[in-house]
Structure 1
Amino acid sequence: MNNYPISGIFIYPIKSLGGISVDAAVVEERGLRYDRRWMLVDENNTFITQRKYAELSLLDVQLNADCLEVSHKMEARKAVKFGIDEHSDVLISVTIWDDATFAHEVNPAVSAWFTDFMQMNVRLVKIAEDARRLVDTDYAHHDEVVSFADGYPCLLIGQSALDGLNAKLDSAIGMDRFRPNFVFTGGEPHVEDDFATFSVGEVTFNAVKPCARCVLTTIDQQTGAKGAEPLKTLATYRKKGNKIMFGQNLLHQGTGVVRVGDELVVEKWK
């Protein structure tokens, strides 16, 4: 029998900024609690990410009891802090990919901090409580919703997939390039490609679609430097059509708590 213990759980409260490693996470309807509930938008209320603005990788995020704090990884820039429940009453329409959904600006002072950092006008917004951004209907099972993640509530990657990639690279890279929610150990590289349904802790998940990777994976998350890897190497063995796949997008049934050390139990294989 194969053992697949969960070795890491990560949340990314502000889309495209630094992630946070946690020992346990609550799986809510939209995904992990606090995961991608905030994002930066430009003057047109359109989302911005590291794909175009690699400097976002240099912003570190910390989650405290009732607030988020954002600081610069390399500069002695004063941090900005705001309450988890803090936001204006004004509802605004924001665009993420082809979706329009509703959000609230956190507050003008926080937006001004990010505007100064980016040297362009941006606002930090929080997803509205009753916003219903639907998962792609080609893959959804029950009209599932997602927050500000690219398309799916959660992402799973096996540690062996990264180990296999690093064995092919001249310089090893970290898992943070791929921004997973769950990492597990055990099995052959990319064994997650064969998962159909599995449970972790109190929650059942469905692996519905391989994750197509973009230029964000080529950005060093500690320095902001860009290069050709790992996409150059991944293209030699993980290309499907015109896309490079690494990890599995997940949907889930119900809610509950998932903890590091929980066993991933495969209930159905593809």
Structure 2
Amino acid sequence: MGMRAAIVVGATGLTGTSLVEQLCENDEYVSVTVIARRAPAFTHPKLEVKIRNLDTLEEKDIELANELYCCLGTTIKKAGSREQFEKVDFEYPLTIASLAKKRGIPHMLVITAMGANEKSPFYYNRVKGKLEHDLMELGLQRLSIIRPSLLVGEREEFRLGEKAGEKVLKLAKPLLVGPLKRSRAIEASQVAKAMIVIALYGNKQPVTIYPSQELAQLDFPETQNEDVSRENIFNWKKRKLSSISDEEDKVNQEVVINRDKYKIEETVVDKEVNFQHRRDK
């Protein structure tokens, strides 16, 4: 069993909900902290929920952790305006990343979108591309950019456009082969699992971009079960403090932007890690 701590922002959305559940069930994590405006329905002994207004989030609200997972995202229709959409999809993630950098969190994983490009003719993709660009400029120790295609799964709210797109892509799936395979819809639960796989075993480059077709194939490597005592399994606080104290000496506490030292790689995993890849159904 590991001794990792994670922070999740955007935990009440489709991917975030699944991510929190999977993190709590993963033996590598002993502590999962959610920062949200409302509490998720899911509860677990490992889970701590901090109810916060993201407009007034401060450095003290960000605890030390091994990973910060950002699953924030909305639509213009739900947000009510482009200004509010950009606040959720651009301003909040960038602010949170800056606070995490100052706090010394060594790895941020953020969901953007397939086609993210600050020069895209499409507004949504431009915003996502601008977010990616500014996160890279921030100089995080390690940044993993998650670019899923259309996310499918059971949402709390009904989104007509996404439901229609989901049906179209489902019918077209047999035709989406070769380069078109990247456009296949992807289960939000699979994206959540892929994010954990990336956190534990992924590329250690400062910036790595993970496209949707790669996310769809990621799975955990085979591991042997570790024999641990019941006391250690349920002593979350003791294990969390031990884990985080080890990380404190490894990270840079200063916010320094040095674009030249960053190499962006569109690759998924280190060669020495043998993953089990899912087979398309």
Structure having greater relative contact order (Cα 8 Å, sep ≥ 6): 1
TM-score (norm. length: structure 2): 0.24
TM normalised by structure 1 equals: 0.24
